[in-house]
Amino acid sequence: MRGGVFKAFVALLLVHVTSPCPKECSCDVEAKSVDCRGRGLYDIPRHLQSDTLELLLQDNRIRGLGSMAFRDTPQLRVLDLTNNSITSVSPSALLGLRVLQSLSLGHNAIRELDRRLLGSVRNLTLLDLSHNVIAGLPGAMADSMRQLRHLFLRHNRLQKLDRGHLEALESLEELQLRGNPWRCDCHMIALKLWLETFRFKGGVVDEVTCTQPDPMKDKDLQRVPYELFHSCMATSYHYLFSNLRHLESEHRHRVDLLHLPELAGGGAEAGQLPECEPKQRPRPVNLRHAIATVVVTGVVCSIVLLMMVAAAIYGCAYAAIMARYQRDLKKAEQRAAAAVSLPEKDKDKEAKGTADEKEPLENTIA
């Protein structure tokens, strides 16, 4: 009996030694979870168990994440640092967390993120960056988030968001963008098109409320009619290119496949030059230049058409004014002629009356 109790005590002691838990945290050995919420921590706790899957550090006073801050927990899948005082994150802070799936950095004071931060994290499905002071996202970061399903960017300082960042997120299902000072100018047309496509495919996105310019203030970008972007017509082909990037890449890839060199043994012997000079590979059509030509031609033709319409309207208006002027002039001349002929008629009547009076007198004398 004493031997069994002793063995159990030794087993518990070994579990305690091999499964350390920081004194300021509580650990769940079965769930492999470490809960350090609201403990007033200024730094990441050390000596964590290497097979920890979940680390909860919300509501502390952590101010920064140094290089390889989580080297003790390479199997970590859930990392929550919500509501701390984090202002800086080292580019190598997450180095070694290859299986990390959920990262929450909301309610901090992060200003920017290095493009190398998520370089080693390839299985991330949730990223929460809401309630920070982030003004932009590095483009290369999106390349390491192809498995991302939920992206939260609420209440930051984002004024624009490159469509290329979002197109790389092939598995994205939910996007939160509310509470940013969005500047809805010509650069946002591409984002508007992407959001409409994303929602059509079943994606979930909240409001993108514009703060600038004044005509679009307090309006949701997704509901702003395209007529308000009429000033962007001259440069709209730049955004048309963004819709056709994948088509251009596919076209180039197919052209390269059509002109692959023949396999060894199928043509001339290895090491020998062909007898005939190989035909020069045709230059692939550049869709960007072709589209630009079409758009510019359309703009020029539209301007010429508007000028022709304006000239026609001006000609018709000028002809109508001249016709009216001629009619008024003719009436004035007729009135003047009538005024001149009236005295002459009166004189003729007086002369005729005098002659009539003389004629009876002459008859009487005779």
Q: What is the pLDDT of residues 179-203, one digit of tens each?
A: 999 998 888 888 998 999 999 999 9
- State the chain's mean pLDDT as an integer: 79
pLDDT of residue 248: 63
What is the assigned CATH class of domain 19-181? alpha beta
Domain boundaries, the chain: 19-181
pLDDT class of 277 with cuts at 50, 70, 90: very low
pLDDT of residue 67: 92
- What is the model's pTM? 0.60
pLDDT of residue 281: 53
DSSP string, 186-254: GGGHHHHHHHHHHHHTT-EE---BEEESGGGTT-BGGGS-GGGGGGGGGGTHHHHHHHTHHHHHHHHHH
**DSSP strand E in the chain: where?**
26-28, 33-35, 54-56, 64-65, 78-80, 88-89, 102-104, 126-128, 150-152, 174-176, 182-183, 204-205, 210-212
pLDDT of residue 247: 56
**Does pLDDT of 106 surpass 60?**
yes
Residues 316-342 have a mean pLDDT of: 83
| pLDDT single digits (tens) 94-104 | 999 999 999 99
